[in-house]
Amino acid sequence: LREVIALHVHHRHPPPRHGRRRRAPAPPPAPHLFSDPAEIEALRGNLLAWYDRCKRDLPWRTLATTELDADRRAYAVWVSEIMLQQTQVATVIDYYNRWMQKWPTLQALAQASLEEVNELWAGLGYYSRGKRLQEAARKVVSELAGQMPRTAEDLQKLLPGVGRYTAGAIASISYGQATGVVDGNVIRVLCRLRCIGADSSSPPVIDRLWDMANTLVDRSRPGDFNQALMELGATVCVPKAPLCGECPVKQHCRARRRVSMTPKSGPEGLLCVGGCPLCPPATEPWDSSLGVTNFPRKAAKKQPRVVKTATCVLERRGCHGAPEYLIVQRPNSGLLAGLWEFPSLLLAQGLQEEKQQEALADHLQAWMGWPVAAGDLQLIGEVVHIFSHIHQTYVVYSLPLDGDVTLDPASSPSRWVTEEEFHASAVSTAMKKVLGDTWAFPSFPLGSSPQPLSPSTPSSGHRLLRDGTFHVWDHRRAVLR
């Protein structure tokens, strides 16, 4: 969201045609502005005093205040900001600590392999972030003599994958540049402080929020101020059930003032008179039951695309008797680029179960170079995984093998791994769910020929277990989430 927001600034206005001057946008009405210098100064002081008392103890904040080398300090902030995109703080902390221990400098990261980066990033989601971070680190080392750009403008201009938000965060926190930042938390805080009810993801509103952030940022402590504004949105001014009584800037909040008032027009009522581009649209009037959570307002979220994939867990007994699994590497571009997974095939919409099985068998046969009968594939069940824009269902099959598999050299890279090696590899959370959620149930010894439970359960399946046994079960009861 942070970087998507920042990208709007590059595309919001087409160039004027044939020399005609484009009319400048009208300034926002007074109720949506911070125009009183005394109020701005008071807000800064109140927010920073609260931050000094209540800020969370986070590892990247410690490095930002204790690291004396400017390049290492900026790198430490940069890593945290990339990891925090679309990911909660509690999840990031452990990944951040392991990353900084393994690659404490830009130079160390630049020398790592993409496989190492993917392995450490596995489970954090949005995997292209780690790849872009390493690409940018290599550029700093090879083209910028290992020195990070020193301004938000140069950071955004010179580093791939660094947008307006990330550039502002690095520059303000690491170098003390007095520039604002706008992320999801800041959007929520500013929209409530100034009753901005128009679509908060629209380019005109985003432009106004950036102007507001740059007006408010404290000139002597810009990094702390920006972190305080984000901290406020993350811990107090939260999306639902905000803690308004604990808010250090509640006296400046027009949404809170609006809650205690009867609806009326004009500045005293905190609403503009008709046609205001920042007020709630007439079709979405104030809802008194929502209180301050009337703000911000967003356009309806686009429904995720529904995708179904057939996945086969190929299993064999390893040299020490433990189960091993065959994994293959995904292409270096697209979703989950470069990660490892069980052999998989994207399925056409509406394909019946029998046809799914045949399609997967054909795919495996072409990939492995020896016959695979559809009937040998044992259906395990379904694993559902939600990406930000994709509702993914994995239809999971199992295929036990007696020996090694000779693969087509032209096919994707592949390798056999134990369960421990699987979890240490660069595999997605979805693939861990495929393996982890389908563990269970002892029954058939390895090498035997499992049969359906009865003629009435032709779609039953079996699994190789940790103790080298199989279990027969009815997949129709298994939808794993």
**Rounded Cα–Cα distance for residues 237 and 255 (Å):** 12
Q: 385 in helix, strand or coil? A: strand
What tokens appear for 338 in the block?
Answer: 């470069």
What's the sign of the alpha-carbon dihedral 318, 323, 324, 325?
Answer: positive
8 A C-beta contact, residue 470 and residue 444: yes
Nearest to 215 by CA among 256, 169, 178: 178
**Rounded Cα–Cα distance for residues 278 and 262 (Å):** 20
Nearest to 162 by CA among 123, 129, 138: 129
Q: How far is CA 353 from the centre of its chain?
A: 33
Has 39 been annotated as catalytic?
no
Nearest to 165 by CA among 174, 178, 156: 156
What tokens appear for 86 in the block?
Answer: 């679309």
Q: Which of 3, 81, 231, 324 is catalytic?
A: 81
**Rounded Cα–Cα distance for residues 193 and 292 (Å):** 9
8 A C-beta contact, residue 430 and residue 405: no
Angle 175-93-103 (CA atoms, 0-180°, nearest 5)?
Answer: 65
Nearest to 129 by CA among 181, 171, 80, 172: 80
Angle 8-124-314 (CA atoms, 0-180°, nearest 5)?
Answer: 125
Classify burial at 222, counting beta carbons within 10 Å of its beta carbon; exposed 0-12, middle 13-18, buried 19 or more: buried
DSSP 8-state assignment for residue 271: B
Instruction: Tell me: cis bond preceding 296? Omega within 30 of 0 counts.
Output: yes
Residues classed as catalytic? 81
